[in-house]
């Protein structure tokens, strides 16, 4: 289990958060599989994002994950269908310790590492321009031969 301060809660709130998570695990465990875990501990947002990742992967459409919640969803999607991990890009590495654990578990290297803890999809918004530029370079950039560039100067 990994949790953190999120957007900056104090020590008392962090302790309450850890206790709530431990109690939820104690009450609802053991878990048969990822779907069982999701149904007992996950919120609607995690279930929804997990579904988006699985659906996108089934259509060979890449997904950009941003922070802790979408990362947790990616782990669950990867447990349900391991091949779904092949379609996931990590937009950035958050300063949240749990986010590093998530990316390591998924075997993903983030596109950006800017010490962000903003939320709201800011990492994904920034990374998309890099992903789009990379796609254009791979698909539209001409070779020297196609561009009729001479090897002689």
**Can the peptide bond before residue 30 be classed as cis, meaning omega within 30 degrees of 0?**
yes
End-to-end Cα distance, the chain: 60
Q: Which residues are catalytic?
A: 120
Contact present, 24 and 41 (Cβ < 8 Å): yes
CA-to-CA separations, 106 to 21, 77, 102, in angstroms, rounded: 22, 11, 6
């Amino acid at each position: 289990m990994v949790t953190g301060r999120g957007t900056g809660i104090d020590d008392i709130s962090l302790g309450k958060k850890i206790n709530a998570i431990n109690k939820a695990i104690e009450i609802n465990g053991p878990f048969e599989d990822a779907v069982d875990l999701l149904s007992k501990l996950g919120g609607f947002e995690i279930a929804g994002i997990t579904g988006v990742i699985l659906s996108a992967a089934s259509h060979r459409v890449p997904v950009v994950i941003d922070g802790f919640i979408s990362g947790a969803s990616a782990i669950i999607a990867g447990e349900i269908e391991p091949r779904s991990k092949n379609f996931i890009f990590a937009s950035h590495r958050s300063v949240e310790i749990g986010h590093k654990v998530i990316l390591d578990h998924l075997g993903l290297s983030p596109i950006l590492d800017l010490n962000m803890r903003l939320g709201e999809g800011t990492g994904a918004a920034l990374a998309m321009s890099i992903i789009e530029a990379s796609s254009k370079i791979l698909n539209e950039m001409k070779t020297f031969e196609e561009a009729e560039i001479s090897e002689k100067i």
